Amino acid sequence: MNYDVLIVGASASGAACAVLLRQLGLSVRVIEKVPDSSRYKKLCTHFIQPSAVPVLTQLGMAHLSNESHSVRTQAAFITSAGIVDPIGGYGDDGRGFALNLERAVLDPALRQQAVRQGAEIGYGEQITEAVRTPQGWRLTVERHGDPVLLAGRFLIAADGRTSRLASMLGNQARHHENQRATFFAYCSGIASPSQNRSLFAHHQNGMAFLYPLINGRTLLSAYIDKETARQWQEQDPKAELIRFFSGVPFMPSVSQAVFETPVIGYHDYPNLVRHPVCGGVAFIGDAVQSLDPMSGVGCSFALQSAAMLAQAVASALQEGQLDETLALKLYEQQFNAYFPAHARGIIADSLIAKEEQTQRSVFQTIVNDDALQRHYRDLTGRLITPAFFQNAFLVSKIRQQSLARKAQEAL
């Protein structure tokens, strides 16, 4: 059978894109290497930024924001200059929220929704060849050791950080150093912060993140330099993680924490960035950019890039016929208008050697200005651009300095 769309990968971005393209009436076939629909990505902190929450509604999956599936939350930042926790929710209307939506819930739900919408998903499949044809693409897929041929007009790479399609098509990743290592574990026995805040603390030249989850559980996530990570690994990672969080002011007590999982994480996780379009193929999710986990954008950017591509395809559909060239052009334009600026900021921040006094001064400016606190939170929620925040920060800093001078002169 010839399909309108072939998608390699049925994790967050691939499955979401399958749902959205089926909503447009296109036939969709997905190739997925995991053996069944229940598998999910375990090395993920699963924070859905407010920028991506609307995509769940587009997918017909707004119910995942209910308390039986996830925890509605917003970020609060514990810094050396004070706490950044502005009144109200995200966005201009103050009604936005983030979600702690675990991949054990999200990934199977996305695949089930794709199948309900009429997409076909082949599990236990590996792509071995991709050939461009006058009609589109012909893929050779290995299933249980046997080759299977699939044909489609439009090909999408959603096969993750180590994308096989990227290797086949020469879409080489640009590597950018990430000086952080990551440790995290799921625990019980930790009280949820007030209003189910997700807490992000600067601590000992690292970061300590605490995410409240459903069923009274908590995710503890530490981001530390690689030498400290090596020492933790040589000693007792569980004990070191508890010790690290115990020293963070304003954190809930972790003294009664019970580990529900081993401590897992990354020792070396460079930022990877690829072209959103290469060789006539659209790349989405981790296949196009895989960034420092501390930024908490992996799930969100996966969903957003899938929605962005689906929007481009919708704009390129005329009476049921897809203009593939136009769809790729529109997707590339939309992708480049939004993602690279955020990626550059994340990449710069993953170089962790920062002067403590400078960092304190930056956060003091933010803490002193309620509006700037909201802008900072919206920046981390990927609702505003880094340039917008930088301009707001400079204006606020100049105003604060002017007020300080006037106050000094009045003495």
Higher pLDDT, 319 or 19: 19
Its domain, for residue 286, covers 2-46+102-176+270-349
Residue 188 has pLDDT above 80, yes or no: yes
pLDDT at 104: 97
Domain-embedded: residue 154: yes
Given 241, 266, 291, which residue is the final one in a domain? Answer: 266
Type and span of the H or E element at 310: helix 298-315
pLDDT at 352: 80
Residue 210 maps to which CATH number? 3.30.9.100
Q: Is residue 291 situated within a structural domain? A: yes
Strand partners, 149: 140
What pLDDT is stored for residue 205 in this prediction?
Answer: 85
The answer to whether residues 242 and 371 belong to one domain is: no
Say if residue 344 is in the same domain as residue 402: no
**Residues 114 and 42 both lie in one domain:** yes
Q: Which amino acid is at 291?
A: L
Read off the CATH number of the domain in which 23 is found: 3.50.50.60
242 and 274 co-located in one domain: no
Instruction: Give the pLDDT score at 122.
Output: 98
- pLDDT score recorded for residue 383: 99
Position 240, amino acid: E
pLDDT at site 356? 84
Is the pLDDT at 410 greater than 90? The verdict is no
Coil, helix or strand for 131? strand
298 and 228 within one domain: no
Tell whether 189 and 42 lie within a shared domain. no
* Each residue's pLDDT tens digit, 372-405: 999 999 999 999 999 999 999 999 999 999 999 9
How confident is residue 103, by pLDDT bands cut at 50, 70 and 90? very high
What are the tokens at 330? 């529109």
CB–CB of 140/148 below 8 Å? yes
Q: Is residue 198 part of a domain?
A: yes
AA letter at 395:
V
In a domain? residue 63: no
| Domains identified in the chain, total number | 3
SS3 call for 364: helix
Q: Round the average pLDDT of the chain to a whole number and report it.
A: 97
Task: Based on the fold, state whether residues 197 and 325 are members of the same structural domain.
Answer: no
Enumerate the β-bridge partners of residue 83: 78
Per-residue confidence band for 99, with pLDDT thresholds at 50, 70 and 90: very high
The span from the CA of 78 to the CA of 197, in Å, is 12
229 and 141 in a common domain? no
Do 275 and 331 belong together in one domain? yes
Has residue 86 been placed in a domain? Answer: no
Of the candidates 239, 266, 293, which is a domain's last residue? 266
Residue 81 lies in a domain: no
pLDDT-derived band at 43 (thresholds 50, 70, 90) equals: confident
Same domain, 165 and 284: yes
Q: Is residue 257 part of a domain?
A: yes
Mean pLDDT over 168-191 rounds to 98
Residue 377 and residue 158: Cα distance in Å, rounded? 29
pLDDT higher than threshold 80 for residue 353: no
The verdict on 185 and 256 lying in the same domain is yes
Q: Are residues 15 and 125 in the same domain?
A: yes
Q: Could you tell me the two tokens for 123?
A: 């599990």
pTM (predicted TM-score): 0.97
pLDDT(355) > 80: no
* Region of poorest pLDDT, from 35-44, 61-70, 99-108, 209-218: 35-44
**Does the residue 113 lie in any domain?**
yes
What is the tens place of the pLDDT at every residue in 323-340? 999 999 999 999 999 999
Helix (H) or strand (E) holding 229: helix 226-234
